[in-house]
Amino acid sequence: MYDEILIFIDLVNRGGFTEVARHLDINQSTVSRKIQQIEKKLGLILIKRNVRQFELTEHGEKLYSLFKGYNGEVSRLLGFLNNADETIQGKLHVALPITFSRYAISPHISEFARKNPKLRLKLHFHHNEVNMLKENYDIVITSHVPRQQTQKLRIIHKVKIILCCSRKYIDNFGLLSDFTSVDKHNFLCQSVASNTMFNELSMFRESDNIKIGNIKIKSNIHLSNYMHAKIIIKNGDYIAAMPEEYIKSELDCGEFIRILPEYYFGYINFYLLKNIEDSDARFIKFREFIDDCMRKYLLISAEYRENV
C-alpha cells in the first residue's frame, strides 16, 4: 500500500493525473488504478472525480494530512543511501535559460555527468516562463518570477543591463550622448506582457548605484530573445538595452559600443526553483554543481576585469 499512498500524495501535490503520470513515467491509467486500489483497501472514497479535475473528500483530506510529509521523508532516507556510496541515482529533469547557460553552465555539464554516471539528466533550454508542475521539472533556473510563488526565491546570479549599438549604427545615425535626444534614435524593445509600444527603463548611476529616473524607449520591433536582438544590432539600425555579459565579446573587440557608459539600466535576476525536497540527494548534488558554476564564472569575470 505504501507506493499507492505515495502516488496519492503526489496526485494532490501536482493537481492532476496527467502530471503525476508524466512525473513518474507511468501510464495515466496506472495512476487511476493505484488510487482505486487504495480506496478499495481502505474502504473509503478519497477523491471526487470529474472530466478535468478532482477534489478531495473528507477522508482524502485526512489521509493527505497524515502522509503529506511522507514523500519528503522517503527522499531523505533514500538520500542517505545515495550519500553512503557517494553515487546519485535516478533521473533529474532540469530547465535552464538558453543564453545564460551557454557560457556559465553548459561548459561544465559533461563534467557533472561524468562524476554522476548513474544520474539520468534531462535538460530543457528555455527563454520564456516555465510551469514547473505542468512540465514536470524537478529544478528550474529562470529569470521569470513565478506567478504563483509557493517557495522562497533564491537568486543565483544577476546580469547588468546596458545600452549598446554597433559602430555601423554610429556611422549611420550618430552617437546617442544624452537623454534629451532619445526620441531621435532607433531602439529595439523587449516584448512585455502589457503589449505597450514602449519599454520603460530604470536608470542607475554606475558611480554610486543610485536610481536617478526612468526613460521610455519606443520601437517598431519588439523581441522576446536577447540572442536575436544581438544579431539585429549588428546590422547597424538599432540601439538596444542588453545584458552586459551577453555581448562581452562584441564589446571587447569594438564591434559594439556601450552608450551612456556612466549609467546602467537595472539587472536581470536568475532564480533557482525546485519541485523536489531540500533533502533529496539529486537536488543537493545539482545545487552544489550550480554553485560551483557560479563561482567559476565570477572568478573568470573578475580576472577579465583586472586585465581590461
Per-residue pLDDT at 37: 86
DSSP for the chain reads -HHHHHHHHHHHHHTSHHHHHHHHTS-HHHHHHHHHHHHHHHTS--EEE-SS-EEE-HHHHHHHHHHTTHHHHHHHHHHHHHHHTT---EEEEEEEEHHHHHHHTGGGHHHHHHH-TTEEEEEEEESS---HHHHT-SEEEESSPPSS--S--EEEEEEEEEEEEEHHHHHHH----SGGGGGGS-B-EE--TT--SEEEEEEEETTT--EEEEEEEE-S-EES-HHHHHHHHTTTS-BEEEEGGGGHHHHHHTSEEEESTTEE--EEEEEEEESS-TT-HHHHHHHHHHHHHHHHHHHHHHHHHHH-
pTM higher than 0.85: no
Distance of alpha carbon 82 from the chain centroid: 27
By C-alpha distance, which of 262, 259, 255 is closest to 242? 259
Per-residue pLDDT at 84: 47
User: Are 159 and 243 within 8 A, CB to CB?
Assistant: yes
pLDDT averaged per 10 residues in sequence order, the chain, 308 residues: 77 80 77 85 82 78 79 60 64 93 94 94 88 84 76 86 96 92 92 68 94 91 90 96 93 95 94 87 93 88 59
Backbone angles phi, psi at 187, to 5 degrees: -125, 155
Structural domains of the chain, ranges and CATH numbers in brackets = 2-68 (1.10.10.10), 83-155+270-307 (3.40.190.10), 158-268 (3.40.190.290)
Per-residue pLDDT at 76: 60
Per-residue pLDDT at 75: 60
Per-residue pLDDT at 71: 64
Q: How many residues are recorded in the chain?
A: 308
Per-residue pLDDT at 254: 95
Task: Give CA–CA dist 246/104, Å, rounded.
Answer: 11
Task: Give CA–CA dist 13/133, Å, rounded.
Answer: 9
